[in-house]
Amino acid sequence: MKNFCKILSVLFLSMAWNSSAQLLNKSWGSVTEKEEGAWFASDEAKAIAENVLLYQRNIGGWPKNIQMQKPLTEAEKKELLDLKPDTHDVTTDNGATYQEMVFLSKMYRQVPDERYKKAFLAGLDYILEAQYDNGGWPQFYPLKKGYYTHITYNDDSMVNILNVLKEIKDKTDYFSIQPNEKTIEKVKAAFDKGIDCILKTQYKQNGVLTSWCAQHDENTLEPAKARAYELPSLSGKESAKIVLLLMSIENPSSDVINAVNSAVAWFEKVKITGLREDRTVENGKIVDKKIVVDVTAKPLWARFMELEDNKPFFCDRDGVKKYSLAEIGAERRNGYAWYTNEPKEVLKSYDEWKKKLPTELSSKKKVGTKTPRDEYNMVVALDGSGDFTSIQDAINAAKAFPPQRVIINVKNGLYHEKVKIHEWNSHISIIGESRDKTIITYDDYFDKINLGRNSTFYTSTVLVEGDDFYAENITIQNTAGKVGQAIALSVNANRVLLSRCNILGNQDTLYLTGNGSKQYFKDCYIEGTTDFIFGQATVLFERCEIHNLSNSYISAASTPDNVAFGFVFKNCRLTAAQGVKEAYLGRPWRIHAKTVFIESEIGKHIKPEGWNDWDKAETHQTAYYGEYNCTGEGFQPKLRVNWSHQLKKKEAKKYTIKNILGTNSKGKQWYEQFNQ
């Protein structure tokens, strides 16, 4: 019997030691995340709670990177008591203060010790006191000199704070401890100021809202530098939790909705596909990281991206930007999280979030507005100040085959929707408030649609099927990225004019079709990678900038045999992204393709031969590719393929606007009908 008791005693001691060892092997954060329940009433939890109380400073906050579950010696306990008045290193960084408050709340629910409540409320007072007047929070409070004074989104510091305040102001059951009503009013005000700060710090890139930096200057609110390798940038990591917080707000304002829509569009635009991060781990430590090509890899986002163009970059401790992870030393390459997949949670939740929006702020008509105030002159505005908050709703409200032009005025904003101008929606004009700030965006692409070999034609962000369509001061974009065919704008209609518009995408950006259709692009910017202007319509591009994003083909015409003009570029400017050096003017999608460049400036990125036959030798006799009186380093007429044409002056004279675009049924020049 003695031996049996001895064995039991050893067994219980062993179990207790194993439990403590397992807990010590975990991080403090994982301990605070333990599911609420009986464990928080255990002696082990109570012992940890004593440590938490000891580590709290009189100001109410805690220092960071402390493993609170680690047993303390009597000397260590005395040292912590002596440190109580010290305000140095009290912070909300790396989960500090937030994690301790969560732990104390879980303790108090099981063991209503008033000391836990008092400590929790002191932590809340600390958070409220630390907030800037502009709504942000510094990394340390009291303020610590250096970059620590910046508004800190880094490692989700400010989001953690706001989540605490949100649970308290909403009086949820998440925390077992609730302050008095006077404090709750302060919490509500602090939360609102915090959200306002988030909205004000969302970075505008060329006038378009994007995401956030890990830290922002506390005075100017501009992106700011932290450590040497943490330069001002757009963050793929911290921005994700910010957006999830905004999406958790009930009855969001139009500004919050616009912020979310804009950030989601940005996440879609900058996601990295086809790459995988491989890690080599030895003895639990990462000893090497490599980025490898993997077409099956799930999307990644860079932690640091250039403010101007979203290009990912990396830094060593010398603060010098590199554009490949392999270029930086092993210490920073392996010891820092340069990539993240956190935005996937935003994209996963986005559609459900939109469905839950209040009716008056979702993509529906305004409450009480069944018809627009003027059915021939409508207004679309995301803030609800117009007739509709959705462009498609305005189109759907338009008369079929109207007796006069229907003008849809669109206020600045990011309209995340697929738009279709139906065949019966003729004589519609969509007029944006400003070219770069009125944006229609979506992200469909071939594999996402997955409807077979013709999936490309379902990917359009905007599809025009109604004749006599006009658009002005609008950006139309497909943000799917370099994932194959993904159309921004499809035009399958006659007598269509776009003026001062941006058409943005990658492969197959602009599809122009329709039997006998005549279309006109004037003063537009069009960008893409492969065949980014394609189709069978007769189209005049005048004073447009055509921008190559990769070494590929600008155009892929499929002009019918009996049609005189295909794609005609007059007075256009051909430009390219950095590093693009070998692009073609065009190749034939169908063998009778016709494409001509007249008096245009051709950049040096265009290959000397100019044109490609797409391995269709017969096109040397059937296609018509020509140039006339062009300029620029890329205009090399003597080096062009011998089956292309350098037009004579007499030949060029037939390329007039009237000859190319024709007239309407009344014999008038149809492109003059629009309000330009």
- The band of 15, judged by pLDDT with boundaries at 50, 70 and 90, is very low
DSSP for 410-421, written as a single string: E-SEEEES-EEE
Judged against a pLDDT cut of 90, whether residue 419 lies above it is answered with yes
CATH number at residue 191: 1.50.10.20
Residues 453 and 511 occupy one common structural domain = yes
pLDDT band of 18, cuts 50, 70, 90:
very low
Higher pLDDT, 383 or 136: 136
**Residue 278: its pLDDT value, please?**
92
Specify the pLDDT at position 559: 97
Q: Is-catalytic flag, 508?
A: yes
Question: Using one digit for the tens of pLDDT, what is the confidence trace for 430-475?
Answer: 999 999 999 999 999 999 998 999 999 999 999 999 999 999 999 9
Contact criterion met (CB below 8 Å) for 41 and 110: yes
Q: Is 561 within the bounds of a domain?
A: yes
pLDDT over 90, % of the chain: 83
pLDDT at 445: 94
Residue 1: the pLDDT is 45
Domain boundary, last residue among 325, 357, 389: 357
Higher pLDDT pick, 432 / 385: 432
CA distance 500 to 433: 12
pLDDT at 271 over 90: yes
Query: Omega before 142 cis (within 30°)?
Result: yes
Tell me how many degrees the CA angle 632-503-386 measures, rounded to the nearest 5.
140
What's the pLDDT at 321?
95
Specify the higher pLDDT residue, 458 or 3: 458
Helix (H) / strand (E) element for 36: namely: none
Which of 311, 330, 357 is the last residue in one of the domains? Answer: 357
Q: How many whole angstroms separate alpha carbon 241 and alpha carbon 457?
A: 35
For residue 302, the one-letter residue type is A
Reported as type and span, the H/E element at residue 276 is strand 275-282
Residue 557 CB: number of other CB atoms within 10 A? 27
Q: What is the CATH number of the domain that holds 470?
A: 2.160.20.10
Cα 565 to Cα 654: distance, rounded to the nearest angstrom: 10
The letter for the amino acid at 194 is G
For residue 673, is pLDDT > 90?
no
482 and 563 together in one domain: yes
In this predicted structure, the answer to whether residue 19 has a pLDDT above a threshold of 70 is no
Q: Is residue 210 part of a domain?
A: no
* 321: in domain: yes
Task: Mark whether 141 and 263 lie in a shared domain.
Answer: no
The pLDDT assigned to 584 comes to: 98
Measured from the Cβ of residue 238, the count of other Cβ atoms closer than 10 Å reads: 24
How far is residue 88's CA from residue 63's CA, in Å, rounded to a whole number? 8
**Band (674; pLDDT cuts 50, 70, 90):** confident
Task: Give me the percent of the chain exceeding a pLDDT of 70.
Answer: 94
Per-residue pLDDT tens for 516-568? 999 999 999 999 999 999 999 999 999 999 999 999 999 999 999 999 999 99
Mean pLDDT for 306-320 is: 94
Based on the domain organization, do 173 and 255 belong to the same domain? no
Is residue 385 included in any domain, yes or no?
no
- Residue listed under structure tokens 């333990």: 34
**Residues 151 and 179 occupy one common structural domain:** yes
Residue 371: its pLDDT value, please? 66
Q: Are residues 173 and 290 in the same domain?
A: no
H helix or E strand, kind and range, residue 127: helix 114-130
Q: If you average pLDDT over every residue of the chain, what do you get?
A: 92
Quickly state the pLDDT bin for 24 (edges 50, 70, 90).
Answer: low
Residue 279 resides in a domain: yes
**One domain, residues 187 and 283:** no
Give the pLDDT band of residue 580 (cuts 50, 70, 90): very high
Name 477's bridge partners. Answer: 441, 504
Is residue 210's pLDDT more than 90? yes
Q: Which residue has the tokens 């020509």?
A: 626
Averaged pLDDT for residues 21-34: 80
Known catalytic residue: 173? Answer: no
Contact 622, 592 (CB under 8 A): yes
Of the listed 318, 467, 531, 615, which one is catalytic?
A: 531
151 and 257 in one domain? no
What band does 17 get if pLDDT is binned at 50, 70 and 90?
Answer: very low
171 and 296 assigned to the same domain: no
Q: What is the mean pLDDT of residues 608-628?
A: 97
- Integer Cα distance of 469 and 512 in angstroms: 13
What's the whole-model pTM score? 0.58
Average pLDDT over residues 651-671: 88
Identify whether residues 143 and 188 lie together within a single domain: yes
Of 149, 168, 201, the residue that ends a domain is 201
Residue 364 lies in a domain: no
Q: Does residue 16 surpass a pLDDT of 80? A: no
**Same domain? 476 vs 437:** yes
Alpha helices in 335-413 (DSSP H): 343-356, 391-397
- Whether 675 is in a domain gets the answer no
Task: Select which of 156, 217, 467, 508 is catalytic.
Answer: 508
Q: Is 372 within the bounds of a domain? A: no
Residues 189 and 222 in one domain: no
First to last CA, the chain: 102
The number of domains in the chain is 3
Q: Check residue 358 and give its pLDDT.
A: 63
For residues 244 and 252, the answer to whether their CB atoms sit within 8 Å is: no
Contact 244, 177 (CB under 8 A): no
363 in Cβ contact with 393 (< 8 Å): yes
Specify the pLDDT at position 382. Answer: 86
> Could you list the residue range(s) of the whole structural domain that residue 254 is in?
218-357
pLDDT at position 165: 97
